[in-house]
Structure 1
Amino acid sequence: MAYPIHRLRRLRKNENIRRLVRENHISVDDLIYPLFIEEGKNIKKEIPSMPGIYRWSLDRIDEELEEVSNLNIPAVLLFGIPEHKDQVGSQTWNEEGIIQRAIRHIKENYPQLYIITDVCFCEYTEHGHCGVLHNNDVANDITLENTKKQVISHAQAGADMVAPSGMMDGVVKAIREALDGAGFTDIPIMAYSAKYASSYYGPFRDAADSAPAFGDRRTYQMDPANRREALREVSFDIEEGADIVMVKPALAYLDIISDVKREFKLPVAAYNVSGEYSMIKAAGKLGWIDENKVMMETVLSMKRAGADIVITYHAKEIARLLK
């Protein structure tokens, strides 16, 4: 028997009871904040398609890190924009590269921050693809060899976690073997396990200067139409040694987050990507939505779908509201 014996509105009567029975919550502890660090001096460059998000040079990054630290955001995800690019992205394993220097700076000055490094090549290659090219496509196994050099370089600089985003087959296994072989057995891997070839990445490519010079990334990133394939990708990454698995993007892929959370027992990260961020910012600027409320509801939807961790450009705004 339902109504009138059961009246669901009883538990919605006022804010106190709603708080008591609320099933999901957003906490600052859930958040990872991405940072774009550019080689050069005196750079604080707002990304036009991502209002409020900047590229920083290392000599000015403290302006951002102080705020992140004061807001008690636990972790940052680092993306580098080098001064010089080449065909293979060799700056990714240069011990004096922009990311390596950034890691050392953060470790020395903000030891309370947990440092995660994006492991990829698209920002570092002249062609903008995620590895070494062969016949105008990324050569999977050659790229894996360079990935090993990149992660060891990051670990030696002091990274706490590495996050491979290139969607190469076997990348988690290659990284785990490389890190373990170099003595970095305690560094975890957050795998971009279900990363789709999405149109939501547009603003990021402005932010990281990583748009491909030709073609697209559909031969190595997932087809947005596929759902079962995501579970295969995640299962392979877990077998290869992933410690955290990620779904990217998040908002249009809540079904994938839910599937992964239900099927596997590892922590699940959702990447609230640049296009999702920019849509909220644009609609908020035009007065079409209540920007803060839509922001919080959007991130809450990712938590409700099953995400344990949310990587989001909204992290500082969320942390301020939670304070």
Structure 2
Amino acid sequence: MRVLGIETSCDETGVAIYDTEQGLLAHALHSQVAAHAGYGGVVPELASRDHIRRLLPLCEQVLSEAGLARRDLDAIAYTAGPGLIGALMVGSTFAHGLARALDIPVLGVHHMEAHLLAPMLEPEGPDFPFVALLVSGGHTQLVRVDDIGRYELLGESVDDAAGEAFDKAARMLGLEYPGGPRIAALAQEGTPDRFRFPRPMTNRPGLDFSFSGLKTYTRNTLRDATEAGEADHQLHADVALAFQTAVVETLAIKCRRALEQTGIRTLIVAGGVGANRALRDRLSAMVEPLECRVFYPRPEFCTDNGAMIAFAGHERLRAGQQDGPEMLAWPRWSMTELPGLDAAG
């Protein structure tokens, strides 16, 4: 089965083709970062319009790279949610229109499930069960995964997601959007231990997260240093390092707690923040004494992409699931509502 995957949930247009026998055949991505950078975040209307411009050329590109024609496709998968409603509708209408023209099945995919399964695109992927840390601009969640469609939410952010917190802290430091890579780069120049930021909600039981307090702590630290006449590049680097370290340590503490509570010995990390090198290093050090393993997608598949949609859709389409005639777009959609693979579409 050859599945065309379409991702248009936010500010990246991703397209890919996944084949049952050969795996990932081709993938392409257009990022809108430059278009939104001047606004300090994603502008939904601009995102939707850019998806319209980019989607068809990207589809033609991946078909060409895979050496396929449209008639060679067996099914189409697209991101149905969660995400920006206008952006989701672009992908949904395109996928349904093309599927109808080709008379092939089409399926709306859950964006976070696709992130969760992205490490399985790697040559050595994880086996079930595992604990998943989904960490991005819109979500920070710990999920127990026993199989595709068998999910238990263990904990999530009660306010800002980790990626959102990175973006807000970056703005305070005068850095461009997106904030995560900018803070990571600046933190390399930071002085270790000059500042120690709190590790929120780690001194109480449970697996929920809270990052909004770090935003306030960052603002207050910058304000106090500025009033003391210490505002310079080194200050910003030191604050960036302290902020990143606090986020990374908080995530690592909660991941360790989740592994210990579930007794599961495999951790996967997915989502844009999963590309952060400091986080990867800390989690690798954390799991070693526990005799656990940690898996990641390759960095290009940490952020939104069509490959993860094609793969997630492939798994469900192969099990017989597919959309009816309705075009689906759900800005909010809990992953725990998803059916297992044995549920017919």
Q: Which structure carries more relative contact order (alpha carbon 8 Å, separation 6+)?
A: 2
Query: What is the TM-score normalised by the length of structure 1?
Result: 0.30
